[in-house]
Amino acid sequence: MDIQALMLLTAEAKDTQELVTLVPWTFIIQIINLFIQVFLIKKFLFKPINEILEKRSKLADKTIREAREAQNEADSLKEQYESSLTNAHAEAAQIVSDAQKAAQVKADTLVREAQEEAAGIKARAAADIEQEKKKAVNEAKDEIGSLAMDIAGKVVEKEINEADHKKLIDDFISKVGA
Amino acid sequence: MNSSFEVDYAQIYTTIHTGIPILGDFKLTETLIVSWIVMAIITGLCIFLTRDLKIENISKRQAFAEMLVETGNNFVRNNTGGNKFDKLIPFVSALFATSVVSNLISLIGLRSPTADLSTEAAWAVVVFIMITATKIKTNGFGGYLKGFTTPIAVMTPFNILSELATPVSMACRHFGNILSGVVIDGLIYWALGLASAAIFGLIPGAVGNFLSNIPILGIGIPAVTGVYFDWFSGCMQAFIFCMLTVMYIANAAEE
């Protein structure tokens, strides 16, 4: 390779840089470029995405919290329902037993009243019978009296004052009956 | 058909003469232009992914964006063991995204900004400053300096060397892998071009002349080799760089 060709080559190579070289300006500008890139990537990628991620995690937290609250509420409601259900059961049992008691009392009362009534009827009947008996006895007495008078009249053939004799006979009968 | 092989050098579009010593002239290189394209792509993607965000019933796009963020969070949190370095997440994510997109942008024919040592050096220096800052924050400045004399004072030069080796190795590892990918891709295209020229040159007449000028073998085959040299190595290096960043900073925070 002669001198001329070498010079031609260097002239051609003037608008390219060496393969392995450190160019101060390029070096400085690349440092600045790197920091600009950091700023840009931070502003346009990390900031919005991190904001969204944070928002989402907040939302998730909120949802979980709300779900937990709702569950607590449901649990307390359930407890409340269960207790009120128990109360209702007790109340129902109370009502039933009350009703049973009342019915028993009423039935007892009815039976007692019926018994009393029956006893009353029986007593009245007995009294009636007694009265009838007395009446019958009295009638029999009267009959016997008049019969006796008739017989006595026929026997003595003499009309006696009925009233005087009746008294006489009554005395007699009462002495006899007693 | 060019029969000599040339590596894909970074173009310099314009040179602005600044006259500042050390820094020299400002050169608007392909590296910078493609870096800005990469940044635009990443930012555009971020804006696209985070459009119309919802809390419930999310779109696939949002799910993907959330997955990316969660992956970044988990990556940093798992490797540092806690939420102590959450401020680092956007930095590591930006580093990873820039690295991956820069590495893979060569697939659409642009020159990777990561095939320029200046880029990786810039990143590695930033990481190195972060590591050092974390060390000083953890142990105090005295403790930091004292750390160089462990286990014995004689080791100090080696400790300083190993400290400086961290950014150098990080930068050079990443750069070397990507550059080798660029070189190998260039070689493969060049070799396949030559091969197809040789094969189709066997066809006699005008048809052979015409076909031998088209690198027909260059269709398809580079896609297969590119799976390793571009895809795998590109993603792997980005991952390694970020992993090392996180690990070094997490280690620096330990007493």
Three-state SS across chain B? Answer: CCCCCCCCCCEEEEEECCCCCCCCCEEEEHHHHHHHHHHHHHHHHHHHHCCCCCCCCCCHHHHHHHHHHHHHHHHHHHHHCCCCCHHHHHHHHHHHHHHHHHHHHHHHCCCCHHHCHHHHHHHHHHHHHHHHHHHHHHHHHHHHHHHHHCCCHHHHHHHHHHHHHHHHHHHHHHHHHHHHHHHHHHHHHHHHHHHHHHHHCCCCHHHHHHHHCCCHHHCCHHHHHHHHHHHHHHHHHHHHHHHHHHHHHHHHCCC
Q: What angle do CA A151, A156, A160 make, to 5 degrees?
A: 90
Nearest alpha-carbon partner for B93 in B132, B31, B45: B45
Q: Which positions ≥6 away from B131 have C-beta within 8 Å?
A: B166, B248, B249, B252
* CB atoms B94 and A37 under 8 Å: yes
- The SS3 call for residue A20 is coil
Tell me what pLDDT residue A2 has. 52
Q: Which positions ≥6 away from B72 have C-beta within 8 Å?
A: A46, B89, B90, B92, B93, B96
**pLDDT of B2 over the 60 cut:** no
**pLDDT of A13 over the 50 cut:** no
| Predicted confidence band of residue B168 (pLDDT cuts 50, 70, 90) | very high
Residues in chain A: 178
Residue with tokens 């004292």: B146
Residue of B68, B69, B87, B96 to mutate, testing the A interface (most A Cβ within 10 Å of its Cβ) = B69
A48-56: average pLDDT: 90
Tell me what pLDDT residue A155 has. 67
What are the phi and psi torsion angles at B152 (to 5°)? -130, 160
ipTM value = 0.87
Tell me what pLDDT residue A160 has. 62
Structure tokens at A18: 């060496």
Nearest alpha-carbon partner for B123 in A139, A117, A35, A106: A35
| Predicted confidence band of residue B38 (pLDDT cuts 50, 70, 90) | very high
Tell me what pLDDT residue A1 has. 40
Tell me what pLDDT residue A23 has. 85
B38-49: average pLDDT: 93
Omega prior to A48 cis, within 30 of 0: no
Structure tokens at B106: 């060569």
pTM of the model: 0.71
| Predicted confidence band of residue B93 (pLDDT cuts 50, 70, 90) | very high
To the nearest whole angstrom, how far is the Cα of B222 from the nearest Cα of chain A? 22
Q: What is the pLDDT of residues A77-101, one digit of tens each?
A: 999 999 999 999 999 999 999 999 9
What percentage of residues in chain B have a pLDDT greater than 90?
Answer: 42
| Predicted confidence band of residue B3 (pLDDT cuts 50, 70, 90) | low
Query: Which residue would you say has higher pLDDT here, B71 or B81?
Result: B71
B202-211: average pLDDT: 79
Tell me what pLDDT residue B1 has. 44
**pLDDT of B9 over the 70 cut:** yes
To the nearest whole angstrom, how far is the Cα of B155 from the nearest Cα of chain A? 30
Q: Which residues of B touch A15 (CB under 8 A)?
A: 11-13
**pLDDT of A131 over the 60 cut:** yes
Tell me what pLDDT residue A11 has. 44
| Predicted confidence band of residue B16 (pLDDT cuts 50, 70, 90) | confident
CB B22 within 8 A of CB A24: yes
Residue with tokens 């571009």: B230
Tell me, yes or no, if A21 comes closer than 8 A to chain B by beta carbon: yes
**Angstrom distance (rounded) from CA B190 to CA B27:** 29
B92-107: average pLDDT: 92
**Angstrom distance (rounded) from CA B56 to CA B61:** 13
Q: What is the pLDDT of residues B126-167, one digit of tens each?
A: 999 999 999 999 989 998 988 888 888 888 999 999 999 999
Q: Which residues of B touch A29 (CB under 8 A)?
A: 32, 35
Tell me what pLDDT residue B54 has. 85
Residue type present at position A58: K
**pLDDT of B106 over the 90 cut:** no
Exposure on the CB side of residue B55, measured as CA atoms within 13 A: 8
* CB atoms A46 and B119 under 8 Å: no
Q: Which residues of B touch A25 (CB under 8 A)?
A: 23-27
CB A118 within 8 A of CB A131: no
